[in-house]
Amino acid sequence: MTSLYEQLGGEPAVSAAVDIFYRKMLGDERVAAFFDDVDMDSQAAKQKGFLTMVLGGPNHYTGQDMRTGHRHLVARGLNDSHVDVVIEHLGATLTELGATAEQVAAVAALANSVRDDVLDRPQGASPARC
């Protein structure tokens, strides 16, 4: 089975997705403050890695990177509600790019699987979510 990464068009599609997704995040006051002091180019590179991973594209994802990469944000109050916002915008972005509801749900499940890493909790600690 080909990955959603390939179905959407590979690298160029993910580049386009990063632009859409990042713009949604920056424009959302629930999460925008977390991006105040970041370099936009390196942030976009990280988002591209994340999107590639959740779309099943080539990646060397490690939960440890996700943990250390967000620890300073957890200290600033990053919590489940913000991860929900990420998943919401991720879904909207993929829908704009032509993904089906089933595909969006599959990506959301993958994104949810790193929730504990992002929030620096022991794996499996997160409350059940639909």
Partner 1 sequence: MAAILYRGQRVELAPGESVLDGLLGAGIDAPHSCRSGHCRTCLARAVDGPPPPGSQEGLKDAWRELGLFLTCKGVPTADLAITTVDDLGLEVGATVTEIARIGRDVVRLRLITDAPFEHRGGQFVSLVRADGLARSYSTANLPGRDDFLELHVRVIKDGAMSGWIARELAAGTRVAVRGPDGECFYVPGNPQTPLLLVGTGTGLAPLFAILQDALRHGHRGPIVLLQGAVDAGGLYLVEELEALARANPLVEYVRCLLRGEPGVGLEVGPIHSILKARWPSLRGWKVFLCGDPDLVLDLRKRVFLAGAALRDIHADAFVMKPRASSSV
Question: Site residues (CB under 8 A) for partner 1?
Answer: 11-12, 15, 18-19, 22-23, 26-27, 40-42, 44-46, 48-49, 52, 57-60
82 Cα distance to chain centroid:
11
CA dist., res. 119 & res. 47, Å (int): 17
- Closest CB to partner 1 among 18 and 87? 18
CA distance to 8, 34, 91, per residue, from 102 (Å) = 14, 30, 11
Burial (0-12, 13-18, 19+ Cβ within 10 Å), 37: exposed
CB nearer partner 1, residue 24 or residue 115 = 24
Nearer of residues 60 and 130 to partner 1, judged by Cβ: 60
Q: How far is the CB of 94 from partner 1 (least distance, A)?
A: 18
CA distance 3 to 10: 9
Shortest distance (Å) from residue 53 CB to partner 1? 9
Nearer to partner 1 by Cβ, of 40 and 101: the residue is 40
User: Shortest gap between Cβ of 35 and partner 1 (angstroms)?
Assistant: 8
The tokens of 94 are what?
């993929």
Please state, in angstroms and rounded to a whole number, the distance separating the CA atoms of residues 93 and 21.
6
Minimum CB separation from partner 1 for residue 36, in Å?
A: 9
